[in-house]
Amino acid sequence: MDTRKFVVMALLALPALAQHPLQAPTRAQPKTEPVATREFELRGGESFLGGEKVKLWGVRVNNSLMSPAVAERLVNNLDNYAAHGINLISLSLQGTNGGFPDVDAGPNCFTPDGRIVGGYARRLEWIVREADRRGMVVCLTLMMPRKDELLRDEAAVKLGIESTATLLEQRKLRNVVVNLYQEFSHPTRIEYDFFREPDGESKKAQLTAWFKAIAPQIEVGICPNHLSGSKTAYPGCDVQMIHEAMAIPATGFVLNTETPDPDLPGHEGVVNRFHIARMQETWSEYLAGGPRIAMLFRSPYLEDVRGQQGTGPNLEIGGRGSGDSDRGVRYYFDWLRENVGRWEFPRHVR
């Protein structure tokens, strides 16, 4: 095109461009104040949501923040979860075991200096608010042994905790309980000494103080590794967090963040009658415990990235787990619906 002709055409287009609706506004747009979700809180060691006493039954889906598509799969299944009795889900800012074929395939939502990446923050808020629409609680784990080294130093760990507290506080996301660190004092994978024994109580208290300085009303805890001997209670702890087959503490509110796996990576979603019988014993123990104790059911089927079938993490309930062509976790959801009932806030209905 002739250069002079191009310049003339560009000048003639300027009036139209000035009126284009995508033009940057000349005035700052008013900020919309976020609406607060229901508040999760503890009273006398029992769980309450929106002022109503609730018994929590959960499912662990810690890799759900990894992409918009995976987050959408989770949101699309929340109604089915509630129809089977689920009113607690878990998310993790550093994912969890990616399973077969790559254990490190889960997400990391932090920059090296400890800020939360914007896309992950938006997905987190979306899922938390969708959970709130259904009267659900979200257990949010911040850091894990498998990825804590991606935070470059103690200052980054502190900023990561503060960034999370600020996000939850500013966006008024209150239907949450926070697990500051999963598997404190893990025997092999932890990068920093302040995530392991000795002197665990004071280290946990410091991590908690960083969070509480910004979000004092949000309940927090730290889950020790089940083989470490590190204590579940410490100064400033609201929730005693356990995992695997750790004994349930006799007092206070207790959350099992990860029941023992019924299936294995590479064979995710496949169980036998002995696995189911063992799991039902665990579920029955939590059923008898009332609103003082809660659990997050864990299965590689729900969390492995890719998995044997190449479809993970599988946020759908799937099959009954009887074989390769019947992979799924329907056995848990059906037991829950039969023994606890569907979830219609603020109670289970049978």
Q: What's 174's domain CATH number?
A: 3.20.20.80
pLDDT given at position 31: 75
User: What total of structural domains would you count in the chain?
Assistant: 1
pLDDT given at position 163: 98
200-236, pLDDT tens digit by residue? Answer: 999 999 999 999 999 999 999 999 999 999 999 999 9
Residue 117: C-alpha distances to residues 39, 200, 213 (Å)? 25, 29, 22
pLDDT given at position 20: 41
pLDDT given at position 8: 45
Q: Is residue 231 assigned to a domain? A: yes
Residue 57 CA from chain centroid, whole number: 14
Q: Is residue 7 assigned to a domain? A: no
Range of the domain at 68: 51-341
Q: Is residue 170 assigned to a domain? A: yes
Q: What is the rounded average pLDDT for all residues in the chain?
A: 93
pLDDT given at position 21: 40
What mean pLDDT do residues 243-250 have? 96
Q: Is residue 248 assigned to a domain? A: yes
24 pLDDT more than 60: no
Q: Which residue has the tokens 């699309």?
A: 76
pTM above 0.85, yes or no: yes
Q: Could you tell me what percent of the chain has a pLDDT over 90?
A: 91
Q: Could you tell me what percent of the chain has a pLDDT over 70?
A: 91
pLDDT given at position 14: 45
Q: Is residue 30 assigned to a domain? A: no
Q: Is residue 6 assigned to a domain? A: no
103-112, pLDDT tens digit by residue? Answer: 999 999 999 9
What mean pLDDT do residues 297-313 have? 97
254-280, pLDDT tens digit by residue? Answer: 999 999 999 999 999 999 999 999 999
Please indicate whether residue 15 or residue 312 has the higher confidence score (pLDDT): 312
Contact between residue 235 and residue 220 where contact means Cβ atoms under 8 Å apart: no
Measured distance CA(286)–CA(283) in Å, rounded: 5
Q: Is residue 298 assigned to a domain? A: yes
11 pLDDT more than 70: no
Q: Is residue 36 assigned to a domain? A: no
155-184, pLDDT tens digit by residue? Answer: 999 999 999 999 999 999 999 999 999 999
